Structure 1
């Protein structure tokens, strides 16, 4: 096991231990809003800033439609993932390297919970939203990381065009 996998495994075990011990606690604090963390591909957006919603179909042929999206730097977009299939799918935004690493972790821990603002788990027939502020130009990716889906080609690209001067 390499160092990265060992650290990820320890982190997951620590989180799981914390969750189980919290469930036994008689006092449950309200769930805090997730902290916004700057990522290479942007930062969680505020719904009030959304000016455009992009519907993305997910199907059991392991494809997204559309599979290529273009946005502008500074734009906050709602990605509305619509699962038109009969199995669970998800959409996760990231870099190709991070998505590949996460896909490998999903193979080892397929029931892993997802609650990051740049991902949405979507049950069959349902929909889920990712509200994202694209504050950095570049080419980024999105994928379904359910085991086997990423490997079957369930991926797409997001091109963030630079802000016009």
Structure 2
């Protein structure tokens, strides 16, 4: 084989590399738009597709959302960057309406999610599966660094439930507290 024939074999009438890269990028973007457009059934509560676990898991928060104006008392809760709540144990009375005043004194975002273990596990799965997209309902608040948020709850029955933070890595890191409702 001569040098000329080797050179001739390598030369190909091809599309410039830049054009091929642009076509590939356009195809990927188009595919992404099609997939996102097809995926969007809503459950009607502000949650999009992919929240089936959250929609079917019982909240088990021993009550229901209450009105702040009807609260019997306030409970101050501090979210800490050490992935803890202060206090870690809260005691309330059955029939009591409590406003939780949740203050984030750290530099990381946190949330306060009230609910039983099954609900907490479902919320944790939701947060892990969506790169931390927070979807809240009446039993949770998101608290940015330096901010304060309130959640009011009426405890109708006695028992135990939990409160947790599901910013990715926080719940698994131990950011969960216990709430006891006494009669």
TM range, smaller chain: 0.7 to 0.9
Matches within 5 A, 1:2-151: 13-15=40-42, 40-151=61-172
**Any gaps of 5 or more consecutive residues in structure 1?**
1-11, 20-37
Question: How far has the Cα of 1:39 moved from its partner?
Answer: 5.1
Size of the aligned set, in residue pairs, is 133
- Is 2:155–2:181's contact at 8 Å kept on the other side of the alignment? yes
Question: How far has the Cα of 1:111 moved from its partner?
Answer: 4.1
TM-score normalized by the length of structure 2 = 0.67
| Segments of 4+ moved more than 4 angstroms | none
Cα distance in 2, alignment partners of residues 157 and 39 from structure 1 = 13
Question: How far has the Cα of 1:138 moved from its partner?
Answer: 0.3
- Is 1:85–1:125's contact at 8 Å kept on the other side of the alignment? yes
Mark the CA change 1:153 to 1:39 in structure 2 (over 3 Å): closer, same or farther: closer
- Is 1:72–1:161's contact at 8 Å kept on the other side of the alignment? yes
State the Cα RMSD in Å: 2.3
TM-score normalized by the length of structure 1 = 0.74
Cα distance in 2, alignment partners of residues 159 and 57 from structure 1 = 18
**Any gaps of 5 or more consecutive residues in structure 2?**
1-38, 47-58
- Is 1:80–1:129's contact at 8 Å kept on the other side of the alignment? yes
- Is 1:43–1:135's contact at 8 Å kept on the other side of the alignment? yes
Cα distance in 2, alignment partners of residues 102 and 115 from structure 1 = 10
Mark the CA change 1:129 to 1:110 in structure 2 (over 3 Å): closer, same or farther: farther
Cα distance in 2, alignment partners of residues 110 and 45 from structure 1 = 31
More helix by share: 2
* Corresponding residue SS for 1:14: coil
* Corresponding residue SS for 2:118: helix
Alignment correspondent of 1:33: none
